[in-house]
Every structure is written in structure tokens, then in C-alpha cells.
Amino acid sequence: MKKVGIIGAGASGLMAAIEAAGEGAAVTLFEKKDRVGKKILVTGNGRCNFTNANLSKDHYYTDDDDFVERILSKFGNSELLMYFTGLGLLIREKNGYFYPSCDQASAVLDLLRQALTEKNVEVKTDSNVISVSTKNDAYVVTLENGDTYQFDAVIIATGGKAGLSPKETVNGYDILNKLNHKSTKLYPALTQIKCEGLNFKALSGVKSDCVLYLFADENLIMSQGGELLFTDSGISGIVSFQISHCVAEFLDNKKKVEVVLDLLPGIEEEKLKAFIVPKMLLHPNQTLEEFFVGIHNKKLNTEIIKRIGLKPSMKVSDVDKDTLLNAVLSLKEITVKAVDVNGFDKAQVTGGGILTGEVTDDLESKLHKNLFITGELLNVDGLCGGYNLQWAFSTGIIAGRAAGKQEDK
């Protein structure tokens, strides 16, 4: 019977193990933590947003869009929905985002664990793999405690650096680098952006619908709409997560990175003027603090008033009409400077990774037969919205089937 070793029991490793065993292989799954699939439990704020109806290559950062498309056309959104339904998961959709209907990520993990048991996968937790080496036509997997195991095929599914504390060593890239695989530079992605240009401490906790425009060296790179959350050092929330990979890369390349915030999206300038001018005429005796009530969040109103050099206690009639109008209009165009992104420990995914050109469409290494690479380790990272778990599950399934199927020696 063919022996397959899988390093890492995260989303992609669990899938790979189930599928390789389904092909009739004897599978051993190594996990350095005390339990398998711990990260799945925290995904989607504990609800596990595992795929998206709008799945396409356009939702990923990668060195090869076509590769992503080919993988997703082999095993995409509808295949994953069918797969989980087959495992026994009742699924619900909200605005194109898919979750377990019970809203519990643990349900996804429990079903995967049940499948592991049914398929007789040997699970070894507390087993930190420190190296994978070739020996004739086989692979030797060495654990931190010195134990060694020999396999006909190995799947490296260790995930990236996201979510790891700076103290934790990451072996996936090291293991693969020692086997001559190359990785791009790595960046924290889907994370908060540290900014300058607003009193962020005063705004911390404020949420707003927003459209963000990302500029690098004065050139518009992209825009994203969604909910923004101000933190005491910058911006967070899904809308800023979506641009964080780009921000990290541009900053690393010493570009000037600016983000323009439209905090009144969908309300055109003319409409805003038509609202503000009569409001000024109707309430000349209001303080600016009172006047701004009903326009935006109170903390943001105060900050905008201060930003243009006025005091919240001043009266509307004491302020020049254009100054006041511009203050309100400025909510549609606040420019802040991005200076950093949060580290890997606070990121949801790793940007960059093993070059996709080094694996086949079965995720098999082009350098080493019967060696497979899955999930976040590869230079493919998705936007928020279920794209990363879909990638992990797709690659795990494809690699598991290919690794398990190959002929016995």
C-alpha cells in the first residue's frame, strides 16, 4: 500500500489526508499543535466563511492568474459546496458568502475529523516536522523529537506565517527551500494598516461605510468599498484588509502610499451641498458640534471640525459659509498616509510564497516527484470573503487525490 505523509493539519492538510486515504493510500498526518485544524475554529469570527459565490482568479494576489484559474476550475465553489454537503454540512449563503448554517466553524472541523477517522488516517499531533529529505525514491520526514518516518509521497501543508507569533518558527518555507524550492518575499496580508494624518486615537472604534482609494507614488492603484473601522493607529475592517497586501508591498518598495477615504459613499457632492446649505441657514445659532449631529459619527464630526482649525463650541453664524461647506465635503476625501501594516501575528494570511511555476496543476513539485505543496504556502493569497479557505481546500483535495493515486512501488 502506498504511504503518504502530510505535514500540517490545517484546512489544506486535512482535506489532502481525507482524499489521499480515499484513494487507498496509508496516510499519516503530522500536526505540531496538540489538536488538528485549530485555525479553522477562528475563521470568519468563529463562523467559517469557507467560500464565495463570486469565486474567480480576480480575487487573488499571485504570480500566475492562469494557474489560479486552472486550479479553481478543477475544484471550485460548486464542487466545495457539494463536498461539504456530502460530509453532512447544512450550508447557508449571505450576499455570496458561504457559512455553515449553524454559524459554528467547529462544525466544519468536526465533520473533517469524522472523515479522517472514517478513512483511517493516522493523526500525529504534537509532532513538529523539522525536515523532509529525499532518500532514493522515498521521502524521510524528521520530527523535532528525532523520530523519522519514510513515505512514498509527501504533502507539505504547513500554511504560511499569518497568525504566528514572532517567536514561532515556520518550517514550511525552510523545508521547501532546503529542497531547492524558491519563495517570493513574504508580506502580512488581510491586516490593519497603520496611518498618519488623522487623530486616530480619538477616532478609535468608529465604524463607517467607506470607499478607499489606494495611491502609490500619486498613481491610483485600486479602490475598495465596505465597512471601515478606525483603530488607534490607523484603519482596519474588511475594506482596509483588502488593500493591505498591496500596501505592505508598496511600502517595502519604498513607495509613497496614500489612502483617500470617502466616508460618505453614495452621497454625491451636489446632494451634500443641497443638504448643508439650508441646514446652515436654518440653524445659525447652533454650535458646530450641534450642527454636525446627523451628518456622521460624533467622534468623526469633532475631528473634522478640529482638522479645519475650528472649535466645536463656535457658532455656525461665526464661520464662513464656504469653510463650513468644505468641512462637510471633506468627509468625501480625507487623505491619510500609510506608514506600516500590522505584523504576521495579526495578519489573516501570508502574501507571497512558493512560486506557483514550481508546481504542476496537481500541486506536485516540478523539482521532486511525489512531493506536493498546498494552501497558503504557495504564492496565492485571496481577498476577504472565503477565498483563502477555498484555496486551501481546493489545493488540498487536488494534491491529496494525486498523491494517493500514484502507483505502488
Ligand X SMILES: Cc1cc2nc3c(=O)[nH]c(=O)nc-3n(C[C@H](O)[C@H](O)[C@H](O)COP(=O)(O)OP(=O)(O)OC[C@H]3O[C@@H](n4cnc5c(N)ncnc54)[C@H](O)[C@@H]3O)c2cc1C
Interface residues with ligand X (CB under 6 A) are: 7-13, 30-33, 39, 42-44, 49, 128-129, 157-159, 162-163, 171-172, 348-349, 375-376, 386-389, 392
Pairing of strands 193-196, 234-236: antiparallel
Minimum CB separation of residue 327 from ligand X in Å reads 38
Q: Which is nearer to ligand X, 173 or 215 (CB)?
A: 173
Based on CB atoms, which residue is closest to ligand X, 336 or 377? Answer: 377
The smaller minimum CB distance to ligand X, of residues 4 and 305, is found at 4
Least separation in angstroms between CB 173 and ligand X: 10
Decide: 7 and 17 in contact? Cβ < 8 Å: no
For residue 153, the minimal CB distance to ligand X (Å) is 17
- The nearer residue to ligand X, 47 or 279, going by C-beta atoms, is 47
- Nearer to ligand X (CB atom), residue 324 or residue 397: 397
> What's the rounded Cα separation, in Å, for the pair 385 and 369?
34
From 140, 122, 232, 230, select the one nearest 178 (Cα to Cα): 140
Can you spell out the DSSP letters for 127-146?
Answer: --EEEEEEETTEEEEEETTS
Helix (H) or strand (E) holding 400: helix 387-405
Q: Which of 183, 175, 177 is nearest to 132 (CA)?
A: 175
Q: How many angstroms separate the CA atoms of 378 and 62, rounded?
A: 9
Q: Other C-beta atoms within 10 Å of 204: how many? A: 15
197: left (phi over 0), alpha (psi -120 to 50) or beta: left
Least Å distance, CB 225 to ligand X, is 19
Name the β-bridge partners of 151.
Answer: 139
Q: CB nearer to ligand X: give 143 or 202.
A: 143
- How big is the CA angle at 7 (ends 161 and 351), to the nearest 5 degrees? 25
Give the residue carrying C-alpha cell 511525489.
370
Closest distance of CB 7 from ligand X, Å: 5
CB of 172 to ligand X, least distance (A): 6
Q: What is the CA radius of gyration of the chain?
A: 25
**Number of neighbouring beta carbons within 10 Å of residue 384:** 23
Q: How far is the CB of 349 from ligand X (least distance, A)?
A: 5
Grid-cell match 451634500, residue found: 272
Q: How far is the CB of 224 from ligand X (least distance, A)?
A: 17
Residue number with CB closer to ligand X (216 or 248): 248
In the bound state, the residue with its beta carbon closest to ligand X is 10
Long-range contact pairs involving 220-223 (C-beta distance under 8 Å, separation at least 24): 221/246, 221/250, 222/246
Name the residue nearer to ligand X (CB basis): 241 or 291: 241
CB of 44 to ligand X, least distance (A): 3
Instruction: Give whichever of 140 and 339 is closer to ligand X, judged by the CB atom.
Output: 140
To ligand X, the closest distance from the beta carbon of 51 in angstroms equals 7
Nearer CB in complex with ligand X: 129/305: 129
Contact predicate 394/363, CB 8 Å: no
Closest CA to 207 of 231, 225, 243, 224: 231
Nearest to 102 by CA among 113, 118, 91: 91
Scanning 259-386, the segments in alpha helix (DSSP H) are 269-282, 288-291, 298-307, 321-329
